Chains A and B, each alone.
Chain A
């Protein structure tokens, strides 16, 4: 007889960590929107499923001063619906609202999306251009890691065996700053990115770009930052030439593969297109951002 899979729903982070540390075959989950399909596809069943949704600290959206704190197990539907958050991070809200379907978004989370470490995940590029930090509960207390550092390869993360992402922190963006996220899928929803592109842009009052971040998904083992695109933007106005330089830099930065969802040539070309479009959308939003005008 196979040992039946056990289920636990701890109320605190420490209980969850203790369960995880005690059983090498245990897995934590929140929405389980990746875990269950993986088990159905034939991956070994965990010996224990540790449900994180009962832990108060892991769910919720809060702003204290200029810092946003988002519980790692917060359903992305709640993030999309949070008007205050979505106003400051429209691109990150977009990425959160693109995962799967409405039903999936009622369950899935940033924490799961990041630690599942799929190269094609939607929220990591948007988290990374916003310099999000992951707060990780460890044996020795807590440590904070940049979202960009969490995934180290397909399905691999920097987390130790008994570590859990507890929450994410994000600094409120400066005035005249906005982000955007675009992805390419063959359908209109219920799909996985063939290419994803996130951008964040800060504009000076004269329209010059003072800060920029561009990150690509699904074109390399982990999210790719595009420093050449950022360099091409900073210091000048958002001209067609600058946008073309973004596209070229993005195409050059990807290290895609041929697979059933797309070819190297396609991903390279479309990465440039989406990066350029995402930067343009972010810049339009930044230019329309009224928070700078009132302060």
Chain B
């Protein structure tokens, strides 16, 4: 099977200096593709074991309540019921323990902290029996007042949800607990002087609501605890080593007692970087002595797994008449649900990161609410911070009569610019992305009636972390590449391409697989856009050591010193030319005689991560009488460093844009006054459907990361950052109204159109 495709015309040509690769940059059909499209691929819920029980979780109907009692007696006596567990079955956790938040989140102890919070779980012969028994668990609650909004969480008069939570990062350290878990301050220079030097200053307020990652596959697990005190767990996640570590910690078990087998994953987007069901299933299985399978309903996914935080910001930027940004000030709050998170820290880091601003102050608060614990969602916190900055930059450009791309080009960070954390940027491709959009035919295309065009940028730092890869050469010269990175976006194909490039054998002669926790070295979560970058580095390292081994074997076969043997195009080549080249398959065929099987593991903690930038261009058409916004054209340029498999880079760009458009237009958690979610399903939690979106034109920009053997930066997250602002700026262009509270639903857009003067609460001043 060989598939060769040419790059679409919209993709930028690689720089002339780019090395010529034989495999990297081509578009083979992914190795797991046929199984996926034929339905043969096994996802988490496809795992069935003989004798397995069905598990079901009892969940709180209250957003905040004290648990007076839990009576499982009736449930335990019901037909088919084999085990019932509740908080008391787990190791005790005390406030302040590192495991407290996750432990309490998995199973409530003395209080329920959000609607949907797990209070007990049952396992029975059938799903119906398990559900009936779950309904028969009697829980007596004493309802407590819930904290449901950022404003309430910031109000010192509102009681603290956690009596042990004191704001970290505050100076002086607070003496009273509060619902502000953490405070981050970044500053540089003299902000007052910076604003004084500006010709135009614009300050605006923004709000966004929690949104869910919306993966199609609900959380699912099958656990089999054996009599020797061990357990095997089958589940889908973004990191099965992490599932093992967290499950062990929650149960108080040694890591070696748990084996986690990764299933194919039906979407994660950050939401599967943590656990919800696994320790419950293991405990139920241990108690019942049989395997237990648990599958969340969609409603459970919405009510009990982590959405991205909601946010409330006030952002102020000043610029000189030539467009130079002089100063920035941001006051930010993120709500991370019921437990603390890094959300506010990441927001503070990213809010001004794209632009070279001499003077700035950022203050960000992370607040807790009686809503589900938030989880990572693709470039956590950055889409909201970019909404604010990219909208204000757009307004500044408008006020100054400067083209929005030109405005950004004048302020874009480049190599050596000092970032928010005070460190210099390495080589980055922001300017190249801006130029790619500026030079794209879309940028100058005519617009129709009621249409508007918006542009916005985004930055993500990306991460490295630990990865392992084992390369096994087979007897016939084919190879297996085993990594520990769950494949959430086509990474197996990318691993095979890099291995093919290194070994010089066809990409389809390489079988890339994701190994379980006992079959491959430790590997961190697939997050932070790191799999192709860091696990790719481990694959390359392993392959280079395989090649060194192959050269040694060939030298033995040729009877020459290894220093005389090179590796080229999949063959060992004698430098002197006195021996015929030995293809890889000829060497593996003789492996038993030259030292035994050829297998090498590469493991590393990846250094030299490359930040990624993206610029998105969006056209919308707004029905002025109904407020309905239709995205009619969308182009997204992103610096991939090097696109190992361009189709999956385009897929990441398109997927992030689609999710961001949904976030901009319709997605939101809706709660009633008691904190009960009103839209826990895909009917009223509106992710875009196919007909809502135009074909998203993905433009791959390639400014290689000098610290990666193939120049990879990581592409998974940046694409969700610009859409919120790109859509908002386009709606503003189409309607003349700035909508700064997401989502821009028809109700909100029509309200803005009909009730003008919505800018009255914001300030815009001209110093000149």
Contacts and interface: CB of A to CB of B under 8 A. Distances in A.
Direct contact of A and B (CB under 8 A): yes
A260 B746 contact: no
B557 interface: no
Given A260-B684, A261-B684, A273-B626, A188 B689 contact: yes
A56 interface: no
A189 B692 CA distance: 8
A191 interface: yes
A132 interface: no
A184 interface: yes
Contact of B689 (A40, A41, A189): A189
Contacts of B684: 260-261
Contacts of B681: 41
Interface string A266-277: 100110011000
A266 B691 contact: no
A191 B682 CA distance: 9
Contacts of A41: 299, 681
A1 B79 contact: yes
B679 interface: yes
Nearest to B630: A188
A273 B678 contact: no
A187 interface: yes
B747 A184 contact: no
B626 A184 contact: yes
Interface string A250-267: 000000000011110110
The residue among B132, B691, B746 with the most chain A CB atoms within 10 A of its own CB is: B746
Contacts of B129: 1-2
Nearest to B135: A42
Contacts of B585: none
A266 B689 contact: no
Interface string A178-210: 000000101111111010000000000000000
Interface string B610-640: 0000000000000001111010000000000
A270 B688 CA distance: 22
Nearest to B297: A40
Chain A interface extent, by class: 20 to 34
B670 A269 contact: no
B388 interface: no
B338 to A, nearest CB: 22
A187 B746 contact: no
A118 to B, nearest CB: 12
Nearest to B128: A2
A56 B150 CA distance: 59
Contact of A188 (B128, B132, B692): B692
A218 to B, nearest CB: 13
B691 A189 contact: yes
Interface string B728-763: 000000000000000001110011001000000000
Given A1-B79, A2-B132, A273-B625, A187 B750 contact: no
Contacts, number: 59
Contact of B670 (A190, A194, A260, A266): A260
Given A260-B684, A269-B754, A188 B691 contact: yes
Contacts of A186: 628, 665-666, 686, 745-746
A294 B747 CA distance: 46
B680 to A, nearest CB: 10
B750 A266 contact: yes
B423 interface: no
Leading 10 A-B pairs by shortest Cβ distance:
A188-B691, A273-B625, A266-B747, A260-B678, A260-B670, A190-B689, A1-B79, A186-B666, A188-B692, A270-B626
Chain B interface extent, by class: 20 to 34
Nearest to B299: A41
Contacts of B692: 187-188
A270 B684 CA distance: 19
A266 B686 CA distance: 18
A240 to B, nearest CB: 14
A186 B745 CA distance: 7
A177 B747 CA distance: 34
B17 interface: no
A187 B689 contact: yes
Contacts of B686: 186-187, 191
Contacts of A2: 128-129, 132
14 contacts: A1-B79, A1-B129, A41-B681, A186-B746, A187-B686, A187-B689, A188-B630, A188-B689, A191-B683, A191-B686, A260-B670, A260-B684, A270-B746, A274-B626
Contacts of B750: 266, 269-270
Contacts of A1: 79-80, 129
Interface string A36-48: 0000110000000
B683 A266 contact: no
A36 B683 CA distance: 14
A274 B747 CA distance: 15
Contacts of A269: 750, 754
Interface string B225-256: 00000000000000000000000000000000
A263 B747 contact: yes
B754 A262 contact: no
Contacts of B691: 187-189
Contacts of B688: 187
Interface string B676-708: 001101011010110110000000000000000
A184 B751 contact: no
B741 to A, nearest CB: 14
Contacts of A274: 626
A102 to B, nearest CB: 11
A194 B80 CA distance: 44
A184 B684 CA distance: 14
Contacts of B747: 262-263, 266
B642 to A, nearest CB: 37
A181 to B, nearest CB: 15
Nearest to A42: B299
The residue among A2, A186, A194, A273 with the most chain B CB atoms within 10 A of its own CB is: A186
A72 B665 CA distance: 37
B746 A194 contact: yes
Given A270-B750, A273-B626, A187 B132 contact: no
Contacts of A184: 626, 628, 746
Contacts of B80: 1
Contacts of A192: 683
Contacts of B628: 184, 186
Contacts of B754: 269
A191 B689 CA distance: 10
A275 B692 CA distance: 24
A266 B749 CA distance: 10
A192 B625 CA distance: 19
Given A184-B746, A186-B686, A260-B679, 8 more contacts: A1-B79, A184-B626, A186-B666, A189-B691, A191-B683, A194-B746, A266-B627, A270-B626
Nearest to B745: A186
Contacts of B751: 265-266
A87 B129 CA distance: 52
Contacts of B678: 260
A31 to B, nearest CB: 17
B664 to A, nearest CB: 12
Nearest to B687: A187
Contacts of B746: 184, 186, 194, 262, 266, 270
B626 to A, nearest CB: 5
Contacts of A194: 746
The residue among B80, B299, B683 with the most chain A CB atoms within 10 A of its own CB is: B683
Interface string B452-464: 0000000000000
Contacts of B666: 186-187
Nearest to A100: B683
Contacts of A188: 630, 689, 691-692
B58 to A, nearest CB: 14
B675 to A, nearest CB: 15
Nearest to B672: A260
Contacts of B132: 2
Contacts of B128: 2
